[in-house]
Each structure stands twice: as structure tokens, then as C-alpha cells.
Chains A and B, each alone.
Chain A
């Protein structure tokens, strides 16, 4: 086990040197990959075992970015990050309490529209109350600083994922995913467990947005609440296998590079290709996404 830890730490350490090797474009790609690795991992943390498909990634991500945009000139940076996480946490608890007691489809629907709701609310607030729709971010960070912060967050995220997998909570989540009747009768508080995981997952997503925010310099709601972020996160996690610790990252690297290439070469048809690839992935996983997930969970032991 300690060997694995050493390998993991060594890999992170090695990745930390990337800014010395890559030029701006390469480092931009690395930032994208690490961001999506965190998002996909955070998504899998909750949606993998519970099978509640969350389409709300960008709602939290965007809120994180916006908190930074609003507060960047007034408060110390660490405090801003803290407030960002707090906002994401409160939002996830409100959504979770309303929907997680119910069948998964209610959660999906709610998460589906959440980003649009938050975007419209912020737009309304900015137009009517604060009077400025766009905001500038003046923080003394270069690309490499953002990259390093994301790398640390990635390390934390993977550590959390590893810890949860091996903990009682991880087992509780798996039992809930398999059979809620059994889960409650062996003593698992189902709603509390789901809520906890959803909140952790959402807080991590919020942080990614907050850390990435200075990259934009100028922010407005339509930029940070881009629905393709939610969309990409879901496909990357699904393709890689949300149940395996390293699954999400396996999905992130090829798909991120593919979509990067698509958006560079077919900027006008990007959305069409995105949709097409997504549909293809769902169909290629032969017996349905969940069956695919389960087959791997059973591993070699299956008949």
C-alpha cells in the first residue's frame, strides 16, 4: 500500500514540473486535463456508486468562478476560496435535501436545470442589483500557479476518493447503489450518506471553478455556466468507468484531447460532434452503461 502511495506522490511530483517543460499552449492543455480529471473524479465519487446521474457539474463550477469574480478585489485569496466552497456546499445541501429522498429521475431533472437557474439568477442580480453584468478578475496568478493549485486539488480529490472507497461510507454507498431496502435494514441512513457524498463532490467542483477563474480575466454568466462542462464531465467519467479509482482519469485524457482537437478544427460543428460522440459512447457500451459498470465491478470472478 505504501508503495502505491509513493508512486502516486511521485507522479504528482513529476507532473509539478510540467510548467518547466511545456509552453503556454501545452500548459493550457494540462490545466484542462487536470481540471476535468478532478471534475470527473468528483462526479464519480457520488454518481458512480449511487447511480444518480448528475447533470449539474457546471452549476457548481460556475458558482465557484463567480464567487472569485465578485470578491477578488475585496478579500484575501484563501478566504475567497473558502467562501466559494461554502457557497457550493450550501447549494448542494439545498438541492440534495429536496431531491435525494426521491427516485433518481427527480434528481436528474433538477440537476439538469440547475445551471440554467443559477445562471439566470446571477444575471438577474447583476443587471438589477449590482448593475454590472461582466466582471474582471485581477489576481496575480499565471498559468503555472493555477496549474499547481489544480494539481494539489487533484491530489486531494484522489486521496478523498481512495479513502472513501476503503471506508465504511464507501461500502454504504455501494450497498445503497445495489439495494436501498437492504441498505436501510442493515442500519445505513440512506439520505444522509447520499447527501454527504453529493456535498463533498459539489464542493470539489466548486473549487475547480474558483481556481480556474483567474484564467478568464473577464467573466460573465454565459461564459462560466457553459453546459458543455457538465456534459464532458459525464461522458469522461462514464467512458473511463466511474467505479474504478483511476477510471475517470482514463476517460479524461483521450476525450479531452479529442474534444480539444474537434473544437480547434471544427469550431462551428463542435456541439454536433460532441452530441454524436456522446450518443456513440452510450451505444458502444454494449449492455447499457450500468451493465458495463457492473461487469467491471464483478471483475474476473464473474462466470
Chain B
């Protein structure tokens, strides 16, 4: 399998706090990898370094063979990486369609005009928002905002999709719909890195997963095996007390 994304000894410090410490992993073309860990374990920071929102303190990130650790988010987006945000970020006064066109107009695809509109509508169909295309994004429900963010991220057909807790905060029914949606994207051949809390979702979506704790990678392998590992269970449930 060809390597799509590779990080090497990636570290991020905020003042005295080391949020991510020496994390190395690879993600192959067409692979869907889950990234999990307790709150504050450094998952989102790791994702932010890949998307360029944070600059790594040290270490390397290679994407399709090129180093990207020193690029700005807009440059990384042009390389073909797209993301969603942990706290949903849609552009409230723009319409759903315009929000989606944003994903096409500036990044790797640079589409505009009727062509961009057609492509955006196609993506809105894919996430099930086509009938709301003309509404301002401010009027969407929570799940629809999440769908819209996904449509925007998918719009430019990214080579790598980064999902930051995209499934969190949904009702059980919405969660099932959401999982189905991501599955359909996965089955279309996308490469995805999924940051997620929800174990059941990871089990269903990701054949492989990486677990972080206190800024370090503590496990990396087939999801079924990893979730059995003693230190992973301890990281989630706390160390067993010895009487």
C-alpha cells in the first residue's frame, strides 16, 4: 500500500505543556484510521498540526511524499487535505450552497461559476442537504450543520479527510445516520483520519485505530486488538486499584 500521510516524532508544546509528544504514524492511501483517547490526550492537537492550524514544535509531517509541517492551513488545503471542526463552523449568513462552494473555490480544485455550483449540489445530495441549498446556514439544525461541514470538506474531493469528533453530540438515531454517511464516503474510496470518542462508531468505521494518552501514542493496530490492550483500557477506565 502507498503511504499517503506520515508523521515522524511529532511534538507540540504550548508554553510548559507538551500536548503531543513524539508521535509517529502512517496512513495509507484509501485507509480509514480512528484516532482515540481520553479528553486532553492530544488528538485534536495532532489533527490541528496536520491541517496547519497549529505549527509543530518539532518533528515531520509528510503528505504524498512532501513535507507539510511548515505550511499554512491554506497551503495545506491546496495540497488536498480537508477537515471538519470539533465545534461546528458553518458560515451563518451564507447559504448552504455558498458554504459548500467555499470548499471548492479556493483549495485544490479552484472551481467557480456554474461548474462549482453543480459540483456543490452534487455534494449536498450526497449528504442529504440538497433541498436546503438556498437557506442561510444559520437556519440549519445541529445535525444539518454537521452535514454541511462535511459537504464543504468533501467538496474539493480531498485526498485526505480529517474528521474532528464529527459524530459527537448527535442523538442515537442521528448517530446511526451519521455512521451510515461516513461509511458511504469510506466505501467510495476516501482516505480518512477520524478523531472520535464514541467507541461503537470507531468499531464500525475504522479497521485500524491509534490510541493516544497524555500526548503520546500508546497503541496502533487493528481496532479489535487495540481495544483489548491492557494499557488502552487503563487509559480509558483508569488504572485498577490494588487493595
Contact = CB atoms under 8 A, between A and B. Distances in A.
Majority DSSP secondary structure for residues of A touching B: helix
A186 B107 contact: yes
B73 A179 contact: no
Contact of B53 (A179, A181, A294, A298): A181
Contacts of B73: 184-185
Contacts of B98: 171
A294 B102 contact: no
B53 A301 contact: no
Given A168-B112, A172-B106, A179 B91 contact: yes
Interface residues of B, number: 33
A302 B77 contact: no
B112 A189 contact: no
A185 B77 contact: yes
B72 interface: yes
A178 interface: yes
Contacts, number: 77
B93 A187 contact: no
B66 interface: no
Contact of B139 (A188, A189, A303): A303
Interface stretch (B130-138, B186-194, B198-206): B130-138
Contacts of B156: 187
Contact of A188 (B89, B106, B134): B106
Interface hub of A168, A182, A303 (most chain B Cβ within 10 A):
A182
A185 B53 contact: yes
Nearest to A294: B93
B156 to A, nearest CB: 8
Identify the 7 closest CB pairs spanning chains A and B, nearest first: A187-B107, A187-B77, A187-B106, A184-B73, A178-B91, A297-B93, A188-B106
Given A172-B106, A186-B105, A187-B77, 7 more contacts: A184-B52, A184-B73, A185-B82, A187-B107, A189-B72, A294-B93, A301-B135
18 contacts: A168-B105, A172-B105, A178-B91, A178-B94, A179-B89, A181-B53, A184-B53, A184-B77, A185-B77, A186-B74, A186-B106, A187-B107, A189-B72, A190-B74, A298-B136, A298-B138, A301-B136, A301-B139
